[in-house]
Amino acid sequence: MVAPLAERLRPKTLDDYIGQEKLVGPNAVLRKMIDSGHLSSFILWGPPGVGKTTLARIVARQLDRPIYTLSAVTSGVKDVREVIEKAKSNPLFTAKTPVLFIDEIHRFSKSQQDSLLGAVESGVIVLIGATTENPSFEVIPPLLSRCQVYVLESLGLPQMEALLQRALTTDTVLSKRTYDLQETKALFRFAGGDARKLLNIIELVTNTFNDDETIVLTDELVTACLQQNPMAYDKNGEIHYDIISAFIKSVRGSDPDAAIYWLARMVAGGEDPLFIARRLVILAAEDIGLANPNALLLANACFDAVHKIGWPEGRIPLAECTLYLASSPKSNSAYLAINTALSLVEQTGNLPVPLHLRNAPTKLMKDLNYGKEYKYAHDFKGHFVEQDYLPDELKNKSIWEPQDNNSENKLKADLNQRWKNRY
């Protein structure tokens, strides 16, 4: 049985590794670590198909370290503990600390991640994790503090072209064929910086030709080959971004029928449910906002529910939240307000905080009039008193502009009663 092209071409040394020059190029941080022979725990964060697993294997191989591999999708606390016990008890590992590589470490629960702490801290294992999600949100702080995070980027066009040439000229199967590369635009576009996806497409296309035929590569052929597999949802290529774009725009456009359809496309295609839930949280804040503040509460509850119950039941709270957000009134006033405020900060710099708003925990600060003449709002009728809260240079500057919906109209009326039609 012949292994898939992506596996046949998997690099075994850093010299064969394509991309990530900032990490593994000459004098780069990982290159220096390997050259020094000293290995510390780290997490590789980046999109699929950029070489996270390959890099972990190369590091272990070039440092002659034993390596255990676990997938967070199929492994639990028991599996982690078994690996740690082997590392402790096997005398073969006394000279060089073994590497524990955990793919998709963001899918490990808190208890599963907790089970790694002692072994990482004591040096029983060197942990290398791989994740497509931001470790700041998905990895527990005690574990994150023990690991350096390295960011991997999608492959650029030069790297993709180099990988294509390597596949056609060095692979044991493809190098025996003849090629006519008339067009490659669609090939690289559909691959989307994902090396694995690129090699899978190359293999898919070449398999449409007989062994004795010249393989003529055109954009039309690549597109046709991929369209023949519509359920092979590409979670990171162009189809992925097109469908999530249609989903977001349908919710924003208040079309629940269209929104639930695009949700179904993602569910049927195997999209990461937490990716969908995360987009719903963003939609609730950015596009619904103050027109219906409950939307953000529901979206957060949806994210928590999906995280707790998993798949396939997680599709139900996703559907409920999608329909609620699509049916809700819309406002992007909060989104516009923070952008306006950030632009204002960039233009005006670090303006001083007015003295009456400053904290005065020491006598010196009080002597300097920090906090002097500050009016405590709760001491006044209606828990409000008019005073300046912005820097003097921005006095009465309008930043937030309420939009025309029931919720913000009420907020606007209440504010204008206090601030004399400022809003």
What per-residue confidence (pLDDT) applies to 94? 52
What per-residue confidence (pLDDT) applies to 395? 83
Question: CB of 336 within 8 A of CB of 303?
Answer: no
Whole-angstrom distance, CA of residue 325 vs CA of residue 302: 12
Give burial (CB, 10 Å; 0-12/13-18/19+) of 254.
Answer: middle
What per-residue confidence (pLDDT) applies to 74? 79
Structural tokens at position 361: 């925990």
Whole-angstrom distance, CA of residue 34 vs CA of residue 99: 13
Domains and CATH numbers, the chain: 20-151 (3.40.50.300), 157-227 (1.10.8.60), 238-327 (1.20.272.10), 356-419 (1.10.3710)
What per-residue confidence (pLDDT) applies to 240? 64
DSSP state of 328: S
Alpha-carbon dihedral sign for residues 307, 309, 312, 318: negative
Whole-angstrom distance, CA of residue 202 vs CA of residue 410: 59
How far are the Cα atoms of 291, 366, 417 from residue 402, in angstroms, in the given order?
Answer: 9, 38, 15
Contacts of 247 (CB under 8 A, 6+ apart): 259, 262, 263, 266, 276, 279
Structural tokens at position 14: 């850093």
How far are the Cα atoms of 245, 349, 353, 356, 401 from residue 391, in angstroms, in the given order?
Answer: 40, 11, 6, 11, 19
Whole-angstrom distance, CA of residue 93 vs CA of residue 95: 6
Partners of 148 in the beta sheet?
Answer: 42
Whole-angstrom distance, CA of residue 112 vs CA of residue 73: 12
Both ends of the chain: CA-CA distance in Å? 72
Specify the pairing of strand 126-131 against strand 42-45: parallel
Question: CB of 152 within 8 A of CB of 20?
Answer: yes
pLDDT values of the chain reduced to their tens digit, one per residue, 423 residues: 678 888 899 988 888 889 888 888 888 888 888 888 888 899 999 888 888 999 988 988 888 888 888 887 777 788 888 888 888 776 554 567 888 899 888 888 888 888 888 888 888 889 999 988 888 878 888 888 889 899 998 888 999 999 999 999 999 989 999 999 999 988 888 888 888 889 989 988 898 888 888 989 998 888 888 765 544 445 444 456 778 888 999 999 989 999 999 999 888 777 788 889 999 999 999 999 999 999 999 999 999 998 888 778 889 999 999 999 999 999 999 999 998 888 888 888 888 888 888 887 788 878 788 888 888 888 888 888 888 888 888 887 888 888 888 888 888 888 888 888 776
What per-residue confidence (pLDDT) applies to 379? 85
What per-residue confidence (pLDDT) applies to 193? 85
